[in-house]
Amino acid sequence: MTNPLSPVPTIIAPWLSVRNSQKAVEFYKSAFGAVETYRLDADDGNVIARLSIEGAEFWLSNESSDSLSPDSLGGASARIILTVTDPDSVFSQVLKAGASEIFPVGEEHGWRLGRLVDPYGHHWEIGRPITTC
């Protein structure tokens, strides 16, 4: 039996509010290669899911009155930064899955980075710090 007072790692994981959570889960799997680490299917068709992109976790569910989607807000209230080894290939994969480019991958401010918006209105910056030798 696990001790309920055992230390746990400190983690920040965004929770994305979307319209059509079932379809969104499939998009994030296709676009980012995300894996479901938790899923709850509600009777009303809502899916609450925790997804992992190579260990980087986030949650998603249908929007509610206290957590609106970017579609309902008329824009996103935060950006998600995904740091990966090869931002060019990940960026291309996400575009092919249905995201729209805000600006292409390029080098600026010590990063190789591009920005896109997914079909659910969430903005992602995909990049990596530039190492100089």
pLDDT tens digits for 103-131? 999 999 999 999 999 999 999 999 999 97
The CATH number that applies at residue 105 is: 3.10.180.10
Q: Grade residue 43 by pLDDT with cuts at 50, 70 and 90.
A: confident
**Higher local confidence (pLDDT), 1 or 40:** 40
CA distance 130 to 11: 25
CA torsion sign for 103, 96, 59, 57 is: negative
84 falls within a domain? yes
Q: Grade residue 7 by pLDDT with cuts at 50, 70 and 90.
A: confident
Q: Grade residue 132 by pLDDT with cuts at 50, 70 and 90.
A: low
36 falls within a domain? yes
Helices and strands in the chain, H and E counts: 3, 8
DSSP string, 28-93: HHHHH--EEEEEEE-TTS-EEEEEEETTEEEEEEE-BTTB--HHHHTS-S-EEEEE-S-HHHHHHH
Report, as an integer, the average pLDDT of 10-22: 94
Report, as an integer, the average pLDDT of 35-57: 95
Mean pLDDT computed over every residue of the chain: 93
Report, as an integer, the average pLDDT of 28-50: 95
> What is the number of structural domains in the chain?
1
Domain residue limits at 51: 15-63+75-129
pLDDT tens, position by position, 57-107 = 999 999 999 999 999 999 998 999 999 999 999 999 999 999 999 999 999
